[in-house]
Amino acid sequence: MTRSLPRIGLLITIIILATSVNMAAHQVLPSDTIHYQASIRATDPPVGPVRPVAEFEPTSHVMVRYPLGIPVALVAHLSHTTEVICLVSSTSQQNSATTSFNNGGVNMDKVTFMRVSTDSYWTRDYAPWFIIDGNDEFAVMDFVYNRPRPLDNQIPQYFANQEDYPYYAMPLQQTGGNYMTDGINIVAQTTLVYDENSSLGQTGVNNIMQQYMGAEVFYGIPDPNNTYIDHIDCWGKFLAPDKVLVRSVPTSHAQYNAIEQAANYFATRNCAWGYPWKVYRVNTPQNQPYSNSLIVNKKVFVPTMNSSHDAAALDVYRDALPGYEVIGVPGAYMTPWESTDALHCRTHEIPDREMLYISHQPLWGEQGLDEVFSINAQIKAYSGQPLYSDSLKVVYKVNRGEWQAELLQELGNGDFTTMLGGFAPGDTIRYFIHAADQSGRSLDHPFTGAWDTHMFYITPDQIPPTI
């Protein structure tokens, strides 16, 4: 008679299966459905004010892990767009990755290997989040990863030590696939974060996110997909401080009402610039993971599914982000894209800690017929290099006229201003702010520049002419 496996051996077998390094796709594993009770490690919160750094801000690196969950062709694309950090556990893995990357056309001059063991390729979920703290320093924000993958869970602290970042850790169970920010003061997550930190209550979670992440406004949104994972990147994505992408489905789809409620959640709230979110919809009738994309500077990498809906999905991104290059990326044969696990889940951007940053509260909507309008901005060159004074300007046009420019005048402490005027009732003014520094970096506010500007209009004349 065959002997039964001892209980201890069975337990070890289950653990090994649940945390296998070479998982082919994000299947529904035991580690995906349980609430993992890890010991909470935390630091004091950073000195404020804190600003969360958004995915769509300037990026210096993208973090991936080998063995890959993404096609080598995507690594090649990334290596010609920015730099790539590849996590490997050993010299043999690094050698294998190097061979694969060379064969796949990767620019190896842009690849850095980081020798550290991991449990999985879902860098989105376990890699560090980034803030700018009250000392005006880029810093790593850690959290307790909500999966029983201890090697993955130590990546943020390891990265901070290796790259010399200030390190903070919040006392929350979290996962990167369920986090997005506008880069100003809004953070959005599904209510999974409340479920996994239930002892704190919603107010407790919100307060911690405010203290550690600068989330002055916190969106806790019921997940509309009704799947096991409840990650916000499976159905939504911030594209800019005033733009959000939300999936759509036919009325016959089981989740139609819930998804429409999620879209309406944003449509009925104001972005940090003071007006309602611009909500873009991408059709996902067979649960295609089109929202699970990656923005790297002026490129957007979108997972495609060999579907008749792929082209329309890419066009939605082009409409929302004019001037950006939108690239469709098919999944790899051995690690295909899934509806709950695609390109965004398996990559993680690292912000450019020497970025150029512009803070500006735009003029928008209807404005009275003032003689002049003040345009104020704060401009920071985190490279430490001087700004080019002749690059600091507001570029604008009136109605369908030619582009004009007004130089910004420095007020001190990184504050700048200029005046626009001479407008007539009913005029529409489109404008953006431009800056450049001596590190070679340049930036527009909004990021789309002349392609999609800030806009306001002058109150039309309501007084009839005297005859």
d(CA 188, CA 112): 31
Tokens for 120, please give them. 């999985």
345 in catalytic set:
yes
d(CA 23, CA 27): 8
Count of beta carbons in the 10 Å neighbourhood of residue 137: 14
Cα atoms in the 13 Å half-sphere on the side-chain side of 334: 9
Beta strand 180-181 with 186-190 is antiparallel
Among the listed residues 86, 234, 271, 345, the single catalytic one is 345
State the catalytic residues: 345
